[in-house]
Amino acid sequence: MTETQVVTYGEALGQAYREEMLRDENVYLIGEDVGRWGSLYRSSKGLLAQFGPKRVKDAPLSEAAIAGCAVGSAAMGMRPIAEIMYIDFITIAMDQIVNHAAKWYQLSNGKVKMPIVFRTQGGAGRRNSSQHSQSLENWFVNIPGLVVVMPSSPYEIKGLLKSAVRDNNPVMFIEHKSLYFAKEEIPIEEYLIPLGVANVKREGSDVTVIATSWMVSFAINAAEQLQKEGISCEVIDPRTLWPLDKETILRSVEKTKHCVVVTEAPAEGGWSAEAAAVVFEGCFQLLKKPVTRVTGMRTGIPYGSVLEMQVIPNEEKIVKAIRNLLNK
C-alpha cells in the first residue's frame, strides 16, 4: 500500500517544483513575486530560501521580458519555469510565446529545443471580474508547437508539472485559481503523469462527459447527482488539451454513444468544438444524438460571486444538458 498525504493544489505544485529543482540544476523559476512572496498562491513558498536568487528569480513587472528571458535562456541550455501571474496578463507575453517559443525548434532544423513551462492560472470563481478571470486556453491550442496542459486536482498538478518540466517542448501549463485550496490525498513517493494521456475520472455507461480544469469537479458532482436517478455518467478529464488523447475519448463514446463537452471558456472557436469534432469524426455512426456543449457564456466575466457563477457552467447546467441529451 502506497503511503499518502493530503495536500492542496498549491502545495502539490510546490512539491513538484522542489523535486524537479533538486533533480536538475538547470531548472529555474522566474516570475513576478515568485521568490519573496512565494507566488500569489504561495506555491513556491520557501524555494527562494532553499535554492537562492539564481534559481528563483523575482522579475520586474514585465511579462514580455519574463517570457523572452525564458525563451533566450532555454535556447542556451536552461529549463525555465516562467510564471505569468494571471493568464489575462499573458497578452503582454504572447509575442515571445507564439512567435519565438513555438517557432524556434522548427526554424533551427530541430537543433534548438525549447524546454519551457509557461505556468499561469485562469478562470473565474474568485470575484475578480473581467481582466483577472478569463479562460484563454483556446488561443494556445491553435498554435502549432505548443503543448497545452490543464491540471484539475492536486494529484494531477504534481504529476503533470513534473512531466512538463522534463519535456523538451514549450508547455502552456494553465492552472485554475479556484483550485489552489482544493485538497486531495496523493502518494508521498515520487510519481509522474504522462502528458497527452486523458484520465477517466469516473466510469459510466450512459453518457461521456468531457470536462477540463475546474469543470471536472462540477461534472463529477453532476454525475453523482444523476446516478441517483439511474443515469450513469463517464467523466473524462483530458488533462492535456493538445496533444489530445483521442483514443480514450473515442473508446468511451463508442461505449456510451452520447457525449457532452464542458469548458469554462466560451464555445465559439474553442477547444470544446475541437473535442466535439474529434467525437463526430471518430464515431459519428455510433452516436445516438449530436454532441452537446456546456460552456462559459460569450461575455466578460462579471464582478462578484453571484454573477460570475451565472455565466459559467455549473452542476445544474451540466445535469440539464445530460437530461436533455438522454431525453430523461
Partner 1 sequence: MNTVTQLTLYNKMVLLRHFDDMCRKLKMEDLIWSGYHPYTGQEAVAAGCCSQLKQDDCLLGNHRSHCHAVAKGTSVRAMLAEMMGRQSGVSGGLGGAMQFIHAENNLFCGSIVGSNIPLAAGMGMAFKDQQSHRVVMCMFGDGGSNTGSFHEGLNLAALWKLPVIYILENNQFAEAMPVAESVACSPLSKRARSYDLEEITVDGNDVVAVYNAVARAISKARAGEGTSLIEVLTYRIRGHYMGDPEETYRTKEEVDKWKEKDPIKLCRSQLLANGVAANELDEMESMIVKELHEDKSWVLQQPFATFEQAVRHVWIPLEQ
Catalytic sites, residue numbers? 132
Q: Which residue has the cell 466535439?
A: 276
- C-alpha count within 13 angstroms, C-beta hemisphere, residue 173: 28
Q: How far apart are CA 52 and CA 50, in angstroms?
A: 6
Per the CB < 8 A criterion, the answer to whether 212 and 168 are in contact is no
Our measurement of the distance from residue 274's CA atom to the centroid of its chain's CA atoms, rounded to an integer in Å, reads 16
Of residues 100 and 176, the one with the C-beta less far from partner 1? 100
Q: Where do contacts with partner 1 occur on this chain (CB under 8 A)? A: 28, 54, 59-60, 62-65, 67-78, 92, 95-96, 99-100, 103-113, 144-147, 167-169, 194-197, 243
Q: How far is the CB of 206 from partner 1 (least distance, A)?
A: 31
Q: How far is the CB of 2 from partner 1 (least distance, A)?
A: 22
If 0-12 CB within 10 Å is exposed, 13-18 middle and 19+ buried, where does residue 66 land?
buried
Of residues 73 and 142, the one with the C-beta less far from partner 1? 73
Q: How far is the CB of 180 from partner 1 (least distance, A)?
A: 27
Of residues 45 and 103, the one with the C-beta less far from partner 1? 103
Of residues 146 and 276, the one with the C-beta less far from partner 1? 146
Q: How far is the CB of 280 from partner 1 (least distance, A)?
A: 24
Length of the chain measured in residues:
328
Our measurement of the distance from residue 58's CA atom to the centroid of its chain's CA atoms, rounded to an integer in Å, reads 24
Q: How far is the CB of 98 from partner 1 (least distance, A)?
A: 9
Nearest to 137 by CA among 174, 83, 171: 174
Of residues 74 and 216, the one with the C-beta less far from partner 1? 74
Q: How far apart are CA 290 and CA 277, in angstroms?
A: 10
Question: What helix, strand, coil percent values describe the chain, rounded to 5?
Answer: 40, 20, 40
